[in-house]
Amino acid sequence: MAVETTATHRVHGGTLRYCKHASASTGTPMKFTVWTPEGEGPFPYLVWLSGLTCTEDNFTVKSGVYAYAAKHGVAIVAPDTSPRGEGVADDPAYDLGQGAGFYVDATQAPWAPHFQMYSYVTKDLLEAVDGAFPLDPARRGIFGHSMGGHGALTIALRNPDLFKSVSAFSPIVSPLNCPWGDKAMTAYLGEDRAAWRAHDACALIEDGAGASFDEILIDQGLADSFLENQLKPELIESAAEKAGRKVTVRRQDGYDHSYFFITTFIGDHLEWHAKRLG
């Protein structure tokens, strides 16, 4: 799968590349960034999934991740959140359509032709980066924020053969039980809520998915305006307790939903993943 590098930057001793490639899953060009440490590799790496309204650029510019990635020798891949372009369905609301792919494979019109983000992340993206860069697919983890936290959790739980570790910041843990989930899953997957379970981290844990993960790490700000209505971390704690699984939710006093929160604790997540990726 051909990958075009559109820009290159030297960052913390490593190389950051802005890239694009053609995706068979979405039927569109897709963009991502990849940062690789100094050296020949192959490197362990983390895939970061961003939240609503974001592109591949938000985490790349705002997170401060690369200093910690350099310390631990871990590469970082950050894709866009949805297909884009002429002929791609969209919605005027921020929480549906372009910038709001929710990391599912849509089955409903008008979204189904292009909004295949689950397949994109688990197939096209991984094939592209593994083929073009010195990355070790046997030492791959995933993490994300908000909608991307939901994506990271559900994709990892369903694909423990692809990912050795998973963590999240402020994730939507249960689309079955929040307004964001009701709106997006109805639009993309239809009215049958049984079809949503494969994209709900709490339901997946209840159903026994991803039992090989020794722990799931979640950071949640207590000043997050979405905490009570949309995020509800207590639901994944309850599901984990019932299933005998280890999910660690760290509640951080005074922190909100922004990248100020992410950049404060991103170093902890890099260290946590690095121990599991070896």
Residues tagged active-site: 146, 224, 257
Strands annotated E in 118-275 = 135-145, 165-169, 216-221, 247-252
Q: What is the Cα–Cα distance from 142 to 159, expressed in whole angstroms?
A: 11
Q: What is the Cα–Cα distance from 154 to 104, expressed in whole angstroms?
A: 10
Q: What is the Cα–Cα distance from 172 to 174, expressed in whole angstroms?
A: 6
The helix (H) or strand (E) run that includes residue 148 is helix 147-158
Q: What is the Cα–Cα distance from 260 to 255, expressed in whole angstroms?
A: 8
**Are residues 276 and 214 in contact, defined by beta-carbon separation less than 8 angstroms?**
yes
DSSP classification of residue 97: B
Q: What is the Cα–Cα distance from 266 to 170, expressed in whole angstroms?
A: 12
Q: In this structure, which amino acid lies at residue 128?
A: A
Structure tokens at 42: 């192959």
CB atoms within 10 A of CB 222: 11
